[in-house]
Amino acid sequence: MQFDSWQAFIQMGGYGIYVWSSFAGTFLCFGLLALESIWRRKKLAKEASKQAARAQRILRARAAKKNRI
């Protein structure tokens, strides 16, 4: 499909509002998905480091208790 001008391309034969709003909605969803993925990855990394630190504290406490006996 060829268009005579940029104006005709933007209007898409009268369906431009549907076409461009669909593109905008799609890119908005992809952007939000990317942001949520980044946020969730940071959150999981933080939780993993907390869990590892807790495991280290437990091991040190058990070793200290064992050395006292």
Provide the residue ranges of all domains of the chain, joining segments of one domain with +. Answer: 15-68
- The gap from C-alpha 16 to its chain's centroid, in whole angstroms, comes to 30
Query: What do you get for the CA distance between the two ends of the chain, in Å?
Result: 85
Task: Express each pLDDT in 4-56 by its tens digit.
Answer: 899 999 999 899 999 999 999 999 999 999 999 999 999 999 999 999 999 99
Looking at residue 41, what is its pLDDT? 98
The model's pTM is: 0.67
What is the Cα gyration radius of the chain? 28
Looking at residue 1, what is its pLDDT? 65
Looking at residue 69, what is its pLDDT? 66
